[in-house]
Amino acid sequence: MRSAEVYKEWLNKLDADDPLKAELIAIRDDETDIEERFYKELAFGTAGLRGKTGAGTNRMNRLTVGKATQGIADYIKAHGNEAMERGVVIAHDPRHFSKEFAELAAGIFAANGIKVYTFPDLRPTPELAYMVRRLKTYAGVNITASHNPKEYNGYKVYGDDGCQVSSSLADEMTGYINAVDMWKGVNTGDYAAFVSDGSVSILGEEYDREYLDKIEAVAIHEGDELALDIPFVYTPLNGCGSIPFRQMLKDRGFTAWQIVKEQEEPDPDFTTVGYPNPEDPKAFKLAEEYGKRCGAEFLMATDPDADRFAIEIRDADGSYIPLNGNQTGYILVNYILEGHKSAGTLPDNGAVVRSIVTSNLCDIIAGHYGVTVFETLTGFKNLSGKVPYLHEHGYKYLFAYEESVGYAACEDIRDKDGISAGMLIAEAAAFYKKQGKTLWEVLQDIYAKYGAFAEDEPNIVLEGISGAERIKRMMSAVRNEAPNEIAGYKVVKVIDYKEGYKELAPTNALKFELDNGSWFAIRPSGTEPKIKFYFYSKQDTREQALKVNSEIRDAVLELVNAVE
């Protein structure tokens, strides 16, 4: 059906007093908006569903969420009574409609005879990921749009391994979802009634404690080894991180930290933040003000579902400098491996996992400690999904991370976890302070010891139908007319991951290696309307590396932006 026809179908089938109908009536003269909302169905993939909330097949609403949930319920039922009895665990973040969508999903699963576990209130994504394996459920669902703007919501789905669903599993679920008639094919029931009869179980505080115990168990140094009075600031950016992060800091004994009060409580509009992505330095505006007042040595932030984590540290001049995900990763990898080495707990068969678009400085640091680095596709379904392979081949998991401020320190939590990353950064800062060093000095030491690297990860946001089509044209142009030279440097190797590469599954990404040792990669985001770029250079000094990296970045962006 064309968009206008689907639009009319929705108008005809929605009840007169339905808010979705009122929303559609309000846009009846806006052909562009109608096209955007109805030109396709919201795609279900390895990130589940994600999109703007509102009426339409290409929006997050009770109908699209209901259809997806019924499809997954049918998938579970097809795998028998045991799968149904193991059930599903559900969580949600503080966004608009998150609680309503979570209760809707719980009611649908329960109406289909599937056991449901859920929480009394919002919880971080990593806690949901942990609970899938802890409760041995067949699947997990988290209603969240992670770090996206306030207009968005999402529906993350986990397999029984505690990882977000793989491509093959997502494809299998998609088949069931597509077979559901959203208007009359969804079994629903009363959430409160299902709670009363035990079909839906509300998890108690003891499960929160278990999650924190798992995080705190990855500590390397403690007590007198740490300067626990080190001053710092934390902001949860009005998301899920506030309660568990504060409890973790209390458990670890930190005494001189502050939380950004304006961003302590959940706020679906992220009023004081705007774009609640800790990767964006603008998200640290209030934290910087707090830091200056209390003399904080570093600032930490988690995104709304507390899976992403970023920091700013004070440089030699006392200014707060935002670190990109690679730089925070350098500090964490260095601290974890150095710490285990000094404590005598570094295994002979240690392993670190990183993504294909993450800096290979990680490999150099790990090599110094005799630790093997494994490379995967982007996303923690792949990074954490590597854990079983490591076990099977005799490796000891130590850490996994990728440049988009995602870090996984505990192998029992099979997703990125901002709470554990925050604990380790605070611990590292307190440990180094005891030795008379700041995190800034530690980062400079890393560059001096292992190589002067530069990193940059810009992106181009292109929303809507026209944006999606332009991103396709950009990828096609770079793929089919690959440059032989960039900024005066010769391209010596091109890796196209579209058909797979070595043991890696196919993905829409390209990597270019240059004759000066620099490299860059390009890929469309799987969760946002953007095309992402990754630039890495190594030179004799950090300043030279930044200069070369900037030249390459500008040349590539000019080339790509020329594609109309």
Length of the chain (residues) = 564
- Is 36 within 8 Å of 58 (Cβ atoms)? yes
- Please name the residue that has the structure tokens 């005066």: 488
DSSP-assigned letter for residue 295: T
As given in the structure block, the two tokens for residue 474 are 């950009």
- Is 139 within 8 Å of 69 (Cβ atoms)? no
Amino acid, single-letter form, for residue 499 = E
- CA 295 – CA 69 distance, rounded (Å): 48
Phi-psi region of 306 (alpha: psi -120 to 50; beta: other; left: phi over 0): left
CB atoms within 10 A of CB 520: 23
Residue 105 CA, distance from chain mean position? 22
- Is 299 within 8 Å of 440 (Cβ atoms)? no
Q: Name every residue whose Cβ is closer than 8 Å to that of residue 220 and which is 6 or more positions away in sequence.
A: 335, 336, 339, 340, 343, 345, 424, 427, 431
Residue 325 CA, distance from chain mean position? 12
- Is 14 within 8 Å of 24 (Cβ atoms)? yes
| Strand spans (E) along 223-362 | 232-235, 257-259, 298-302, 309-314, 320-322, 350-355
Indicate the Cα dihedral angle 41, 45, 48, 50, nearest 10°.
-50
Backbone angles phi, psi at 307, to 5 degrees: -95, -30
Write down the catalytic residue from 3, 146, 420, 537: 146
* 146 is an active site residue: yes
As given in the structure block, the two tokens for residue 29 are 């003269």
Among 10, 6, 20, 17, which Cα is nearest to 55's?
Answer: 20
| Cα distances (angstroms) measured from residue 181 to each of 43, 95, 187 | 16, 27, 11
Output b/e per residue, 413-441; b: 16+ Cβ within 10 A. Answer: bbbbbbbbbbbbbbbbbbbbbeeeebbbe
H or E stretch including 326? helix 325-343
How, if at all, do strands 489-496 and 510-514 pair? antiparallel
Q: Name every residue whose Cβ is closer than 8 Å to that of residue 126 and which is 6 or more positions away in sequence.
A: 211, 306, 307, 413, 415, 416, 417, 418, 419, 420
- Please name the residue that has the structure tokens 């795998």: 79
Catalytic sites, residue numbers: 146
